[in-house]
Amino acid sequence: MEITRQKSSESSVSSRLFRGWKRQILLVSLFLTSLLLLGCDPTQPDKTHLQQILDRGELRVGTIYSSTTYLFGPNGPEGIDYELAKQLADYLGVELKMVPSYTIDDLFTQLNAGRVDILAAGLAVTDQRREFYSFSPAYQWISQKVVYKKGRKRPRNLGQLDGVIRVIANSSHAETLERFKTDYPNLDWEVTTEHDSEELMQKVLAGDIDFTIVDSSQLDLFRRYHTELSLAFTVVKEQPVAWLMQKGNNDALQAALIEFFGEMQSSGMIAQLEEKYFGHVGQFDYVDTRAFMRAVERKLPSIKPMFEQYAAELDWRLLAAQSYQESHWNPNARSHTGVRGLMMLTLNTAKQLKIENRLDPESSIRGGAIYLEQLLQRVPEKIAPHERIWFALAAYNVGMGHVIDAIKLTRARGKDPYSWTDVKTTLPLLRKKKWYKQTRYGYARGEEPVAYVDNIRRYYDALVYIEDKKAAADRLAQQKEKFKQLTAGIKEYDGDAADNKVAEKSAPEEQLKAVPER
């Protein structure tokens, strides 16, 4: 492990392509920009970096493995930086090649050596980086948080850090500590190239280190299923996140990125990506999260097979997350409106689905799964596949009529009616007469389906994490058992062979002569 101690005295979104005349305008503008940058001399042999990308037909993007940036999910590559990079490649009309790194050091080495064109890795814009690199427009804003394990005394500032604080080498967090060394002369810290932010948070929980600094977006995702990690204080409040490129022959590329991010902002694509990856994790409720984790251990095992059986095309973990939101996995749950059971079915819905006993766990789960699938079939086809489930879940809570009303109101407000990002901001308006008088189904407590969907998404993410971790542990246990059986077989074989040799040595000479030669 490479750890260096630093003392205070030391230094799946849909593509938006440029087609037809729009692409021609882009290419012409890039050509004119290139001529301007080359002194308007068309005989100049040097090409801009952007022109090199267009000539090779491939955009090489350096990134880093992270739950928020780039990873391989069940349906292929995902992550906010990956999806934006794919959009940029489509925008330029070239192929995308992602070049992932495991450390920030390697990431910048790739860029400095010219092996990648840009870095899209959730990197914060810092003064030190500005000295050596150019930036795209910011597409996200984060803050830097100091975290510690719940149970120890909470520090309120850098001067109160009374233990080991470790951060990633050459990260914006390391720059922050370096910047504050004058204000806190006793501040010292460690840097590492061995671990990423998530691993450092795990080390805080394990008691291996006392503190680390993480970005707010990473902390929000991590605390969904690690409730003992606590926020100490914010060390940097607002910091833009952007893509990096080398300085020099990159003005045309930077101009193209300004155009691209302007298009992504105006089209609402960045807002949709923010919603997709971070829209449901902004609020953290320690008590609720702990209760959910306990329920996963105590209640879920007995009903998990039913979710797996009746989920059909749905992910059983999503169905289980919805059930927890509905009833906290209490088969006898009942609300003031009369809905009952694990999936909180109304009496009319149960009759339509031919569910005789709403309090029977299996019947309730089967009915809830069928009803949710029916709602999915009624979601407008123009809505993107990965967002259809959020509309269906909202309809499960508030009724499909109100969801359709919200879709129509979203269009009337000049926003995207097929984006959950925009529709979720419209649903709460169904409480206001100014808006619900324009609808077919009238008044609704529209903020409830928004919270309902967000909660389900949080529970679902936690279940995915827990189940994946358990599956990995089971695979490891199976491998260990196979290895144990294999080594036991080898020892048994060696033992038999040794016994045979002893027997041969001790056997009478007449018996040995009777043994045929091999």
Residue 387 identity: E
Task: Specify whether the CB–CB gap between 319 and 369 falls below 8 A.
Answer: yes
Task: Specify whether the CB–CB gap between 418 and 424 falls below 8 A.
Answer: no
| CB-side neighbour CA atoms (13 Å) of 154 | 11
Angstrom distance (rounded) from CA 503 to CA 51: 81
Angstrom distance (rounded) from CA 342 to CA 320: 9
Q: What is the DSSP letter of 304?
A: H
- Angle between helices 300-310 and 361-378 in degrees, nearest 10: 40
| CB-side neighbour CA atoms (13 Å) of 440 | 10
Q: Would you give the distance in Å from CA 194 to the centre of its chain?
A: 21
Task: Using DSSP bridges, classify how beta strands 166-168 and 188-192 pair: parallel, antiparallel or unpaired.
Answer: parallel
Q: Is the dihedral of CA 361, 366, 369, 372 positive or negative?
A: negative
SS (H, E, C) 141-157: EEEEEEEEEECECCCCC
Q: Name which of 65, 64, 59, 121 is nearest 96 in CA terms.
A: 59
Cα distances (angstroms) measured from residue 95 to each of 55, 61, 98, 116: 11, 11, 10, 13
Angstrom distance (rounded) from CA 295 to CA 314: 22
Tokens of 331: 């088969």
Q: Name which of 194, 243, 240, 191 is nearest 217 in CA terms.
A: 240
Hunting for tokens 């027997």 — which residue is that? 503
326 is catalytic: yes
Q: How many CB atoms are located within 10 Å of the residue 297 CB? A: 9
Tokens of 235: 């060390």
Residue of 10, 326, 447, 492 with catalytic role: 326
**DSSP reduced 3-state for 262:** helix
Hunting for tokens 């290895």 — which residue is that? 483
Cα distances (angstroms) measured from residue 115 to each of 59, 77, 119: 11, 21, 11
Residues 202-210: contacts with CB under 8 Å, at least 24 apart: 202/226, 203/166, 204/147, 204/148, 204/149, 204/229, 205/149, 205/229, 207/149, 209/163, 209/164, 209/165, 209/166, 210/148, 210/149, 210/152, 210/161, 210/162, 210/163, 210/164, 210/165
Instruction: Find the distance separating the first CA and the last CA of the chain, reported in whole Å.
Output: 54
What is the set of active-site residues?
Answer: 326
